[in-house]
Amino acid sequence: MRTHDTPVRVDHVGIAVESIEHAEPVLLALGCERLTVEPVEDRFRWAYYRLGDASRLELIEPVAEDTFLTDFLDRRGPGLHHVTLEVADIDAVIESLREHDLRVVDRAEFDTWTEAFVSPTNPTGALFQLMEYHDDYHEERLPSEELFVNGNRVGESFER
């Protein structure tokens, strides 16, 4: 039973790897198309891929020696790191999660998006990243049709 009416969808699945260069051929063989590769504050680099008309995958590799990603790879090796869910109202989803005694951690507000994480200590064992994209998220990034699943932010029914 749903406990909120906020539109939510899978934005992408993040896969931790030692090297994007070595892992990318697997995604290309599956039919993925690379959309972008970007560094994040000299801690890690991510590559974003489209598969089919709406599915997205992300490879993330460490570029610094001591990060959450190096810790993850040391403990578990390459593999599923997180599932990112795009949400239309992050506060409503967080409230619903907390009402169900699920731990939400690391909520952060950035210029063009807000994110939070559902601790992987939940019964699924998965780390869920919640992302609410702000109206200007797409500016200075990929075109909306490449950046967002089906070209629009979740809950939007119009083309930009």
Q: What is the pLDDT of residue 50?
A: 93
Task: Report the distance separating Cα 20 and Cα 70, nearest Å.
Answer: 14
Q: With helix as H, strand as E and coil as C, how does the chain read?
A: CCCCCCCEEEEEEEEECCCHHHHHHHHHHHCCEEEEEEEECCCEEEEEEEECCCEEEEEEEECCCCCHHHHHHHHHCCEEEEEEEEECCHHHHHHHHHHCCCCEEEEEECCCEEEEEECCCCCCCCCEEEEEECCCCCCCCCCHHHHCHHHCCCCCCCCC
How sure is the predictor about 153, in pLDDT bands with cuts at 50, 70 and 90? confident
pLDDT per position as a tens digit, 3-23: 788 999 999 999 999 999 999
pTM value is 0.87
Q: Domain locations in the chain? A: 8-151
Mean per-residue pLDDT, 120-136:
93
Q: Is the pLDDT of residue 158 over 50?
A: no
Q: What is the pLDDT of residue 160?
A: 39
The one-letter amino acid at 35: L
pLDDT per position as a tens digit, 54-101: 889 999 999 999 998 999 999 999 999 999 999 999 999 999 999 999
| Class of the CATH domain delimited by 8-151 | alpha beta
